[in-house]
């Protein structure tokens, strides 16, 4: 990261820099449809001072039948500009769970070429636990120019994933719960098959953090990845249910020093549909 901004920042760092003119704070919360929670409404009830709300179901390719797929660079730039997020900003993303969807927004900014972006470690729960201030004030951001520089190396599509079944050049790590990976637990989206992409490794994203959404140390993360079978000499593709928690694995890998990480945007919501994609069951 340029200007010394790491992939994550602590609550103390944000408290110390909250009034800095170049720092922008983003609530990037997303709840699954079956959770019956309204992320935007909860944001409006309480958020970190001057935080704007980033809706992954709005800043997406709405013409794609898959949920919250990446938008065009023009749409991304237009939407984040209106949120006051742009060139020269240090962008700090948090979510209301601790760490679930904030990493997806972190990855999206990197995908579109913005390097000064970090995730707030522990998110809003840690911020509140430390009695740091929140408010319900409406935020009126001034527009900020954003120059998109799309980095295709950070994302994979189904065609590339199918080709990789033959080449095995890239390792695939699946962030879903172990039961969904093995096929023992049904998918929350009823139309999808159960199982996993052949040759992929299972590493539920929750294993990278404690029960409060705080990431484990980089040394601990490295051990966790290697125990899951990750070969650090090979490129890695992260995957999950719909491209959200895969980014938690991408974040963890970056914190351990891995330099060649991409994310399968369609993830299991695409791969698990009936069609030409092969599926494995079990471990």
Whether 60 is a known active-site residue: answer: no
The 3-state DSSP class for residue 45 equals helix
Q: Residue 240 — left, alpha, or beta (φ > 0 → left; ψ -120 to 50 → alpha)? A: beta
Choose among 1, 6, 3, 8: nearest CA to 215.
8
Sheet architecture: strand order including 236-239? 155-156, 261-264, 236-239, 171-174, 201-202
User: For 54, which DSSP code?
Assistant: -
The catalytic residue among 240, 244, 255, 263 is: 240
Longest dimension (CA), the chain: 53
In angstroms, the CA 78 to CA 88 distance is 16
Residue whose entry in the numeric block shows the structure tokens 């096929």: 183
**Enzyme catalytic residues:** 240
């Amino acid at each position: 990261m340029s200007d010394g901004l790491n992939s994550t920042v602590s609550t103390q760092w944000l408290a110390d820099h909250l009034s800095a003119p170049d720092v922008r704070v983003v609530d990037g919360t997303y709840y699954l449809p079956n959770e019956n929670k309204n992320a935007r409404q909860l944001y409006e009830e309480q958020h970190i001072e001057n935080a704007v709300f980033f809706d992954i179901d709005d800043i997406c390719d709405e013409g794609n039948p898959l949920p919250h797929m990446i938008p065009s660079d023009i749409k991304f730039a237009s939407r984040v500009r209106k949120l006051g997020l742009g060139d020269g900003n240090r962008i700090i993303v948090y979510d209301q769970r601790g760490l679930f969807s904030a990493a997806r927004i972190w990855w999206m900014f990197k995908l579109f070429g913005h390097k000064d972006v970090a995730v707030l470690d522990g998110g809003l729960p840690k911020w509140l636990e430390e009695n740091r201030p929140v408010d319900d004030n409406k935020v009126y951001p001034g527009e900020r120019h954003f120059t998109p520089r799309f980095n295709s190396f950070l994302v994979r599509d189904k065609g590339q994933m199918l080709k990789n079944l033959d080449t095995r050049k890239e390792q695939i790590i699946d962030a879903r719960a172990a039961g969904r990976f093995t096929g023992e637990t049904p998918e929350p989206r009823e139309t999808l098959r159960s199982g996993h992409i052949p040759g992929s490794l299972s590493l539920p994203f929750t294993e990278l953090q404690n029960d409060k959404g705080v990431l484990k140390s980089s040394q601990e993360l490295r051990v966790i990845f290697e125990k899951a079978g990750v070969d650090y000499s090979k490129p890695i593709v992260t995957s999950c249910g719909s491209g959200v928690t895969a980014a938690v694995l991408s974040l963890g890998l970056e914190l351990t020093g891995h330099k060649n990480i991409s994310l399968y945007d369609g993830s299991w919501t695409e791969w698990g549909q009936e069609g030409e994609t092969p599926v494995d069951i079990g471990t």
